[in-house]
Amino acid sequence: MNAMLERLKTVTPAVLAAWNEDGSFDEPSYRALVRRCVDAGMESLFILGYTGEVKYINREDRKRITAVTRDEAPDALIVAGCVGACIDDILMYIEDAKEAGADMALVTPTEFYTLRDYELESLFEDLNEKTALPIMIYNCPENPHHCSGEMLNRLAKLPNIQALKQSTTTDKIQRIMNKLDKDLDFIMVSGDEFEFFPAICLGVQGFIMGAPGNITPKLCLEMFYDYNAGKFEECRDKYMKFADFYDELFYCVDKDVIAITKATMELAGTCKRWMKRPTASVTDEEMEVIKDVLKRHNITL
């Protein structure tokens, strides 16, 4: 496995975006988010994903966010989300990401028009030929298109298709693992915090964490290191408490999970709670509910 993929055998936080109340980029807060992850021991960063509100972000802000990430984390492996409506947009975002300092591009299938399997596969074949960066395919649960294990086994043989982010579910993870040839220069990472323990037991070696990667980055790394040190019961016990906390946090108020995550990071003094509209931000009253959840679960930010 090549050196870049070896660096993905860890926990990678999906870094939040940071906005002022008017929706403009809040660079100081964003830098603080990146520093928090790096200071916790994270050596790779995923930016401009679902957690990073990528679908709301224009081209110039995407470039700025990538450049600021590289400036704040000069030694980190940076995976940048390059999500677009068509192949031309995706390639443009990949080129921008490379110029701004990213090491790898994460790409979801296009989603507005229904793709047949052969169209989906040809999208990634064409990207392989034209991309400026190695590609991580994302089988995103919010996207109607899904690359099967058989398709991924073919795509993984292409030189620039090097990784898969598979968020859900355990049965899909194991089905894909069973279809992938064992000698591929390719890695699958898990992208759902509630799949962490089942996935690592199945042999998944890399993990992208959204809310937990921002809120409790040290705990994420502790679980990963415990399992790999053979401390299976310690890992399981930490994971069960971790899952119980996040299961309550994500549903404690009637807001999007990213809004709740940002509100928690405001309580940590790292960034402000503001979301890009039309997604609503957490209210002052809801902040008190979040504080109570943190207190009852003994979470120190």
DSSP output for 215-261: H-HHHHHHHHHHHHTT-HHHHHHHHHHHHHHHHHHTTSSSS-HHHHH
N- to C-terminal Cα separation, the chain: 36
What average pLDDT score do residues 219-223 get?
A: 98
Task: Give percent of the chain above pLDDT 70.
Answer: 100
Query: Which tokens go with 221?
Result: 């790394």
Please report the pLDDT score of residue 1 as a whole number.
Answer: 80
Task: State the average pLDDT for the chain.
Answer: 97
Predicted local confidence at residue 251, as pLDDT: 98
Is 14's pLDDT higher than 90?
yes
Q: What is the pLDDT of residue 26?
A: 98
Does the pTM exceed 0.95? Answer: yes
Please report, for the chain, the start and end positions of each structural domain, with discontinuous segments joined by +.
3-216
Instruction: Answer yes or no: is pLDDT of 217 > 90.
Output: yes
Question: Nearest 5°: phi and psi at 34?
Answer: -65, -45
pLDDT tens digit sequence for 39-91? 999 999 999 999 999 999 999 999 999 999 999 999 999 999 999 999 999 99
Residue 163 to residue 38: CA distance in whole angstroms: 23
Assign domain 3-216 one CATH number from 3.40.30.10, 3.40.50.970, 3.20.20.70, 1.20.1270.10. Answer: 3.20.20.70
DSSP 8-state secondary structure symbol assigned to residue 52? T
**Tens digit of each residue's pLDDT (9 = 90 or more) over 227-281:** 999 999 999 999 999 999 999 999 999 999 999 999 999 999 999 999 999 999 9
* Residue 96 pLDDT > 90: yes
For 223-238, the pLDDT digits (tens) are: 999 999 999 999 999 9
Q: pLDDT at position 112, please?
A: 86
The span from the CA of 257 to the CA of 128, in Å, is 33
Question: Is the pLDDT at 167 greater than 90, yes or no?
Answer: no
DSSP per-residue string spanning 156-223: TTSTTEEEEEE-S-HHHHHHHHHHS-TT-S-EEEE--GGGHHHHHHHT--EEEESHHHHH-HHHHHHH
Long-range contacts at 290-299 (CB < 8 A, ≥ 24 apart): 290/249, 290/252, 290/253, 290/260, 290/263, 290/264, 291/267, 293/245, 293/248, 293/249, 293/252, 294/249, 294/264, 294/267, 297/241, 297/244, 297/245, 297/248, 297/249, 299/215, 299/216, 299/245
Helix crossing, 59-72 with 87-100: angle to 10°?
A: 30
